[in-house]
Amino acid sequence: MNKMLQTPLILRKDWDILIILDACRYDYFRDLNSKYFPNAVPMKVISPASNTYEWAKKVLEPHIWSDVVYVSANPWINSKIPVKDLDVRGKFFRIYDAWLYNWDDKKNTVWPDELTDVAIRLINKYKDKKFIIHYIQPHAPYLSLDIEQSSPFPLTGGDIGNKKTTLQRLEDFVVYKLLPRPLFKAFLKWRYSKGLPIGGPEFVAFANLSLDEWREAYMKNLEIALRSVRKLISRFNYKNVIITADHGELLGDRFWFGYKVGHPAFVYYKELVEVPWLEVKG
C-alpha cells in the first residue's frame, strides 16, 4: 500500500486554513479525533521531516506563499531573524510572531487559546488570505504538569543547534541511542538531580515520570490544543480546513536501541513521520 506524502497535499493549497499541531503523532490524534471532530476521519500521511527545522526547510522555505498569513507560536518560523540557516522571512504575505508577543514566561509556551484568539483577529482582518496557524501543542512543555520545564525553542532560551565536537557526538550517540531505556532514564534523572542540563521539557518529563504519566501529559496537551482548534473552526464557515502536524514525537517507544525521547532531526521512525491529515468543515 502506497503511503500518502504530506508535502504535495500542502503545496496543492486547496485549503483555506492549515492548522499545524507541533509534534503531533498520528496514532494519538486518531484516538482523540472523534471526541472533537466526530464527523471527520483522519488520514495518515508521511511528513518529510522529524523536527520543525527540517520540516520548514523542506516544506516552507523553498516556496513563496504570497497569499498566506502564518500565525506562528513556534520561533523556528519567524519574521525577525534566520535561525541556523532557516530563513522564511519574505516568504509569506505576513508572519505574525505569536512566540514573541504572546509567550507565557512561566510555562514557556504560547497557550492554545491565546493563539486561537490571535488567529481569529487576524482572520477577520485579512479576509481574502489563506492561513497557516502553528500551535506548539502537543509539543512540550506539558501544560498539566507542575515540574519546571524550560523552553525547548530557539530565540526563547532553547538550543539552536550549536556544533559539537566529534567526541561529544560520539557520547551523545552512545547515551541517547544505545543505552536501554531504564539506564537512559536513570542517567537523565541523575543529571537532573545535580542541576545539569538534560535536554528540553520532554526529557525532564521522561526522567521524572512513569511512561504512563508522561504519555498522559502529552495526551492532555493534545486535548487542550484540539479544544482550542475546534473553537477556532467553529467561528468561521470555511470550505476546507486541514489539521496536520510538522512531525511526531518519541514517547519512550524503544526499550533497547534507538532514540527514545523527543524528535531528533533526520530520524525517520514511524512515530516521528506518521502525522494526521484531517479535513474538517467550518
Show the domains of the chain with their CATH numbers: 6-280 (3.40.720)
Per-residue pLDDT, 11: 97
Crossing angle between the packed helical segments 211-234 and 201-208, to the nearest 10 degrees: 140
Per-residue pLDDT, 161: 47
Q: Give the integer Cα–Cα distance in Å for 282 and 262.
A: 33
pLDDT in tens, 163-219: 667 777 787 888 899 999 999 999 999 999 999 988 899 999 999 999 999 999 999
Q: Give the integer Cα–Cα distance in Å for 62 and 87.
A: 10
Per-residue pLDDT, 1: 45
Q: Write the CB contacts of 164 (distance below 8 Å, at least 6 apart in sequence).
A: 172
Q: Give the integer Cα–Cα distance in Å for 238 and 236.
A: 6
**Coil, strand or helix at 95:** strand
Crossing angle between the packed helical segments 211-234 and 26-36, to the nearest 10 degrees: 50
Per-residue pLDDT, 160: 46
Per-residue pLDDT, 63: 97
Which residue numbers in the chain have pLDDT < 70? Answer: 1-2, 154-164, 282
**Coil, strand or helix at 185:** helix
Per-residue pLDDT, 174: 87
Per-residue pLDDT, 165: 79
The number of C-alpha atoms within 13 Å of 85 and in the hemisphere containing its C-beta is 4
What residues pair up with 83 in beta bridges, in sequence order? Answer: 86
What residues pair up with 278 in beta bridges, in sequence order? Answer: 243
